[in-house]
A = this chain, B = another copy of it.
Amino acid sequence: MTQQAGKPGETGADALCDTLLANGVDVCFANPGTSEMHFVAALDRKQQMRCVLGLFEGVVTGAADGYARMAGKPAATLLHTGPGLANALANMHNARRANTPMVNVVGDHASYHLPYDAPLTSDIESLARPMSGHVRRIGSAADVSAATAESIAAASRAPGCVSTLILPADYAWGSAPQVAPVKAEVRAPAAADPGRVAAASKALKNGKKTVVLLSGTALRATALETAQAIADATGATLMAQQSNGRMERGAGRVQINRVPYPVDQAIKALEGFEQIILVGAKFPVIFFGYPGKPSTPVPEGCERITLADPSDDLPGALEALASEVGAGRPTLTTAPAIPDLTTGKLTPEAIAITLGHKLPENAIVCDESVTSGRDFFRFTFGSAPHDWLQVTGGAIGGGMPLATGAALACPDRKVINLQADGSAMYTNQALWTMAREELDICVVIFANRRYAILQGELKGVGAGEPGRNAQRMLDLDKPALDFVQIAKGMGVDAARAETAEGFTDLFERAMKTTGPFLIEAVI
């Protein structure tokens, strides 16, 4: 079969673009291939669509994640067949764990070409499902608009999900004239459940030691104030989930710690609690299983109470609970003083102190610092108000793409990417997109020149001193990565800091100028 193409402007691909735009999706992160050329041609006819090229698909979906976390609406992505989707999956996984809305458009072979098993053919659905909340294959050119609207609706439904739409090439090029773009029916977050509110309120008054675990929109400034008022009124402790999509924090805002990553610290942090109230958070779980250690840091016998699911109106649920427990105005404690700037040896702590002092107002911090940054919260409680975005799914390579997308969503805000060196390499191509789009991002590379997290884990295994094979799998020296050259090679200006004062100088300079800049902090 050799189906003919529709007229430019009247193809399935045009219907797809029109439907995206009609539903407010006007940014498309893209890494196209041949099967998407009619989609590219259609995008080219829509001046309202902002198309952003990533040189690797992990950049594309990671940027879509960062964009949506800050813009509060999904971006589209354009991916090329099964292998292109495969490269995109790790950051789709992170987005899935952050409940980020995202609409991935994956081009596939023309429907009649699939049985020929051409080289790029693969089972796209099987690849997409583990990292998508919604998967749909478009069934005809006439089906494009309805399928796209369904995909946007699924992505946008609270709390948000990764939606994957498979676009066979012949339905992209096929004729779909005079299709009115279908509006997506977006379901709003569910209102607080009075029974749950009553149960949580009752629990908070029973005298037991209680932790309120928050995530999602419960970590925005106003919701956190409501939570603080509840804590003030009831004596409960507030804590954030270990990893969160977005958290509003800094001077004048509620100070809240996360459940720590290391298993022993997590157990200690939750020790003695008799009740845990979940507000959009998952029940705490240890990141990995370890011999002789539990899977959850929550003490045995601790009662679990759910105030609200991630799909609920979390600020509303907190307000209802505050009213039920008779909470008043929250008390905002003064943030601990940030230690004085240091000089000499450059350490993660020295960097944290500089950040604490120098974070600009309204900054967006995208954190993939892994081991180096675990202790950064305590130095930045008193910093100028800012957003803190984490890599939520544990898939490495989220940080730089996340910063890319956040900067696109918020062109007037400074983005600071705290980036471990090992992790940076997985999606280093993000640097080029930062340069191409002239994004206002300062990338701080924590160059410890090893997989420090794994060296710690290997010690935990009790394997003794690492031998040649272990060293060669966990060290990143020989040769050392030169991030200054790598960044410049992709068009991003960069410099190296080897002392605390050198780092502070470079960081201050980066905060005063706009555009992408990378600091390789040798620690």
Q: Which residues of A contact B (CB under 8 A)?
A: 1-5, 8, 30, 32-35, 37-38, 40-41, 43-47, 49, 51-53, 55-56, 58, 78, 81-84, 86-87, 89-90, 93, 97, 109-110, 112-113, 116-120, 122-124, 126-127, 129-131, 169-170, 173, 242-243, 282, 285-296, 392-397, 422, 425-426, 428-429, 432, 435-436, 451, 453-454, 457-458, 460-464, 466-470, 472-474, 476, 478-491
Q: Contact check, B87 vs A90: say whether CB atoms are below 8 A apart.
A: yes
Q: Contact check, A86 vs B89: say whether CB atoms are below 8 A apart.
A: yes
Cα of A117 to Cα of B392 in the assembled complex, Å: 13
Q: Contact check, B436 vs A82: say whether CB atoms are below 8 A apart.
A: no
Q: A289-B113, A296-B116, A395-B83 are in contact. Are A481 and B470 (CB under 8 A)?
A: no
Q: Contact check, B2 vs A291: say whether CB atoms are below 8 A apart.
A: yes
Taking A89-B89, A113-B289, A486-B489 as known contacts, 6 extra A-B pairs with beta carbons closer than 8 A to each other, sorted by chain A number, are A4-B292, A32-B474, A86-B89, A113-B295, A119-B242, A119-B392
Cα of A110 to Cα of B290 in the assembled complex, Å: 8
Contact of A109 among B32, B78, B288 (CB under 8 A): B288
Cα of A89 to Cα of B486 in the assembled complex, Å: 25
Cα of A468 to Cα of B46 in the assembled complex, Å: 10
Which residues from B are CB-within-8-Å of A474?
32, 40
Q: Contact check, B87 vs A426: say whether CB atoms are below 8 A apart.
A: yes
Which residues from B are CB-within-8-Å of A454?
32-34, 37, 40
Which residues from B are CB-within-8-Å of A426?
55-56, 87, 429
Copies of this chain in its oligomeric complex = 2
Cα of A463 to Cα of B484 in the assembled complex, Å: 40
Q: Contact check, A130 vs B82: say whether CB atoms are below 8 A apart.
A: yes
Cα of A2 to Cα of B504 in the assembled complex, Å: 45
Cα of A123 to Cα of B93 in the assembled complex, Å: 11
Q: Contact check, B463 vs A55: say whether CB atoms are below 8 A apart.
A: no
Cα of A285 to Cα of B114 in the assembled complex, Å: 11
- Could you list 14 examples of A-B contacts with CB < 8 Å? A4-B292, A32-B473, A37-B463, A44-B469, A47-B468, A55-B425, A55-B426, A110-B288, A127-B130, A170-B291, A428-B428, A485-B485, A485-B486, A486-B489
Contact of A489 among B242, B457, B483 (CB under 8 A): B483
Cα of A87 to Cα of B51 in the assembled complex, Å: 24
Closest to A422 in B: B55
Which residues from B are CB-within-8-Å of A394?
81, 83, 118-120
Shortest distance between the CB of A427 and any CB in chain B (Å): 9
Cα of A196 to Cα of B122 in the assembled complex, Å: 30
Q: Contact check, B44 vs A467: say whether CB atoms are below 8 A apart.
A: yes
Shortest distance between the CB of A81 and any CB in chain B (Å): 8
Q: Contact check, B458 vs A479: say whether CB atoms are below 8 A apart.
A: no
Cα of A194 to Cα of B429 in the assembled complex, Å: 54
Closest to A464 in B: B8
Q: A83-B89, A87-B87 are in contact. Are A469 and B43 (CB under 8 A)?
A: yes
Cα of A393 to Cα of B293 in the assembled complex, Å: 44
Cα of A1 to Cα of B289 in the assembled complex, Å: 10
Q: Contact check, B130 vs A463: say whether CB atoms are below 8 A apart.
A: no
Cα of A126 to Cα of B93 in the assembled complex, Å: 14
Q: Contact check, A2 vs B56: say whether CB atoms are below 8 A apart.
A: no
Q: Contact check, A40 vs B470: say whether CB atoms are below 8 A apart.
A: yes
Q: Contact check, B118 vs A122: say whether CB atoms are below 8 A apart.
A: no
Cα of A124 to Cα of B126 in the assembled complex, Å: 10
Shortest distance between the CB of A306 and any CB in chain B (Å): 15
Contact of A58 among B87, B124, B460 (CB under 8 A): B87
Rank and list the top 5 A-B pairs by shortest CB-CB distance, nearest first: A479-B491, A110-B289, A113-B289, A485-B489, A83-B395
